[in-house]
């Protein structure tokens, strides 16, 4: 029988009457990730999802890589299916796991008997296969507590499955089950991590990037699009809304106090992001703000930016320090791109002494000199949409 991929479901198994909707969303996400890699049969049974090649030529290596980044899965294994007999499982283990059995020094066998009609208990099956493997590989020692290799046997409805220790999955919930949000994506380290973290909670994303040409370069824009592409294996296909932001920043520099520039700029970002959210049916705005990291991320500054929005603002990295954020950025593969030396709009006209604790009153007074509605509308109408 063919090699397959077994995926262990995480939080989904705790859901009640709506569990089926979570499983359907997960299956749909998996099928989309696999559609260019061959024809696969994807289905769930007994808290396990099966990814089974339906034809020769399926790219199992790339399918495995795609499934390691599928939110909603806590563990996954490449497995070999066989007939539901102890002898068939033993022979499959010897053939399929031969190299791992030769390399390990200690092992154990764990069996799960989901098909209760199978004549042996789980313990009996483990004892039989374990004993035979010990005879076939005399260098192996049994260690039931901390083995180097665990041989897993699963007797299920359709077949039996043999595999070794599962690899960790991405965890979380299937992307899209929690609705849609708009996420602000700069060229820095924090915002891609925020995107990843909120997608892990089941949120589908539309991305918004503020582009200040010619103060920021075309290379800086391409860097952000590359960050979005690096997120797609985790988050699925997304649209990046590239917002022309130069006119707003130049107007702020001409008419507003320099020390308020950064917070006023972020208030415009929130207004524009809210309009994008309304257009694409999103229910929240996501940012990469970390409390106290920079002048615009004090509690007072966050309150000031939140004040212009009716939608909730989600800040998944708000309580994390830089080391924690960098650790995740390295894990998801965005760090090396984030640190490329291209500027973003937040570095344009940076005030020498930014106000750390601005009040709503002084911000609103400064904005009185601006035609806010016209500036926002012009920016929204000039948005370039890039699908990644």
Please state which of the ranges 97-111, 133-147, 334-348, 354-368 shows the lowest mean pLDDT. 334-348
Q: Following DSSP, what letter does each residue of 245-278 receive, concatenated?
A: -HHHHHHHHHHS-GGGHHHHHHHHHHHHHHHHHH
Examine the domain organization and report whether 121 and 190 are in the same domain. no
Q: Which two tokens stand for residue 304?
A: 């000031």
Final residue belonging to a domain, choices 143, 170, 197: 170
Examine the domain organization and report whether 243 and 316 are in the same domain. yes
Task: Please tell me the distance from the alpha carbon of residue 76 to that of residue 189, in angstroms, as a whole number.
Answer: 29
312 found inside a domain: yes
Examine the domain organization and report whether 144 and 221 are in the same domain. no
Helix (H, G, I), strand (E, B) or coil at 300: helix
Task: Please tell me the distance from the alpha carbon of residue 161 to that of residue 309, in angstroms, as a whole number.
Answer: 52
pLDDT 10s digits, 83-131: 999 999 999 999 999 999 999 999 999 999 989 999 999 999 999 999 9
230 found inside a domain: yes
Is the pLDDT confidence value at 348 over 80? no
Examine the domain organization and report whether 92 and 193 are in the same domain. no
Examine the domain organization and report whether 162 and 203 are in the same domain. no
Residue 166 carries which DSSP code?
P
Cα dihedral 381, 226, 247, 308, rounded to 10, equals: 70
322 found inside a domain: yes
CATH number at residue 97: 3.30.2130.30
- pLDDT at residue 157, as a whole number: 83
Final residue belonging to a domain, choices 116, 137, 170: 170
Cβ atoms of 8 and 48 closer than 8 Å: yes
CATH number at residue 209: 3.40.50.620
Domain of residue 97 covers 3-170
Examine the domain organization and report whether 11 and 44 are in the same domain. yes
The per-residue pLDDT of the chain, averaged, comes to 94
Examine the domain organization and report whether 352 and 221 are in the same domain. yes
Final residue belonging to a domain, choices 133, 150, 170: 170
Chain-centre distance of CA 19, in angstroms?
21
175 found inside a domain: no
Examine the domain organization and report whether 337 and 360 are in the same domain. yes
Is the pLDDT confidence value at 29 over 80? yes
Examine the domain organization and report whether 143 and 252 are in the same domain. no
Q: Which band of pLDDT confidence, cut at 50, 70 and 90, is reported for residue 146?
A: very high
195 found inside a domain: yes
Examine the domain organization and report whether 186 and 96 are in the same domain. no
**In total, how many domains does the chain have?**
2
Task: Please tell me the distance from the alpha carbon of residue 98 to that of residue 338, in angstroms, as a whole number.
Answer: 42
Examine the domain organization and report whether 271 and 379 are in the same domain. yes
Share of the chain above pLDDT 90, in %: 87
pTM of the model: 0.92
pLDDT 10s digits, 206-227: 999 999 999 889 999 999 999 9
- pLDDT at residue 343, as a whole number: 75
Task: Please tell me the distance from the alpha carbon of residue 123 to that of residue 108, in angstroms, as a whole number.
Answer: 12
- pLDDT at residue 240, as a whole number: 98
152 found inside a domain: yes
The two beta strands, 106-113 and 141-142, are parallel
Q: Which band of pLDDT confidence, cut at 50, 70 and 90, is reported for residue 1?
A: low
Task: Please tell me the distance from the alpha carbon of residue 109 to that of residue 96, in angstroms, as a whole number.
Answer: 14
242 found inside a domain: yes
Beta bridge partners, 108, equal 150
User: What stretch of H or E contains 90?
Assistant: helix 86-96
- pLDDT at residue 373, as a whole number: 97
265 found inside a domain: yes
Examine the domain organization and report whether 166 and 185 are in the same domain. no
């Amino acid at each position: 029988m063919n090699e397959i991929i077994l995926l262990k479901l995480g939080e989904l198994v705790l859901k009640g009457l709506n569990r089926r909707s979570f499983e359907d969303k997960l299956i749909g996400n998996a099928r989309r990730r696999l559609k260019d890699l061959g024809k696969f049969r994807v289905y769930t049974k007994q808290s396990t999802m099966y990814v089974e090649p339906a034809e020769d030529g399926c790219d199992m290596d790339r399918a495995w890589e795609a499934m390691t980044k599928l939110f909603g899965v806590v563990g996954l294994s490449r497995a070999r299916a066989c007939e539901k007999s102890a002898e068939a499982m033993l022979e499959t283990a010897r053939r399929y796991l031969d190299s791992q059995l030769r390399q390990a020094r200690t092992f154990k066998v764990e069996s799960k008997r989901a098909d209760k009609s199978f004549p042996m208990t789980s313990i009996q099956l483990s004892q039989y296969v374990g004993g035979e493997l010990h005879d076939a590989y005399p260098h192996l020692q049994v260690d039931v507590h901390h083995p180097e290799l665990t041989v897993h046997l699963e007797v299920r409805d359709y077949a039996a499955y043999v595999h070794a220790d599962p690899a960790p999955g991405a965890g979380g919930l299937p992307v899209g089950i929690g609705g849609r949000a708009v996420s602000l994506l700069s060229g820095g380290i924090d915002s891609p991590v925020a995107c990843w973290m909120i997608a892990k909670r089941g949120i589908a994303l539309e991305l918004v990037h503020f582009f200040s040409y010619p103060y920021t370069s075309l290379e800086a824009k391409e860097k952000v699009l590359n960050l979005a592409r690096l997120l797609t294996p985790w988050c699925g296909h997304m649209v990046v809304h590239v917002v022309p932001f130069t006119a707003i920043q130049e107007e702020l520099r001409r008419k507003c106090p320099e020390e308020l520039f950064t917070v006023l700029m972020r208030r415009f970002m929130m207004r524009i992001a809210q309009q994008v959210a309304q257009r694409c049916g999103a229910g929240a705005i996501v940012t990469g703000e970390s409390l106290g990291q920079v002048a615009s991320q004090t509690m007072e500054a966050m309150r000031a930016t939140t004040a212009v929005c009716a939608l909730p603002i989600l800040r998944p990295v708000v309580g994390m320090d830089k080391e924690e954020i960098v650790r995740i950025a390295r894990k998801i593969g965005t760090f090396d791109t984030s640190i490329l030396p291209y500027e973003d709009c937040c570095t344009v006209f940076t005030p020498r002494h930014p106000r750390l604790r601005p009040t709503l009153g002084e911000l609103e007074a400064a904005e009185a000199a601006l035609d806010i509605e016209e500036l926002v509308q012009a920016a929204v109408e000039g948005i370039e949409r890039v699908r990644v």
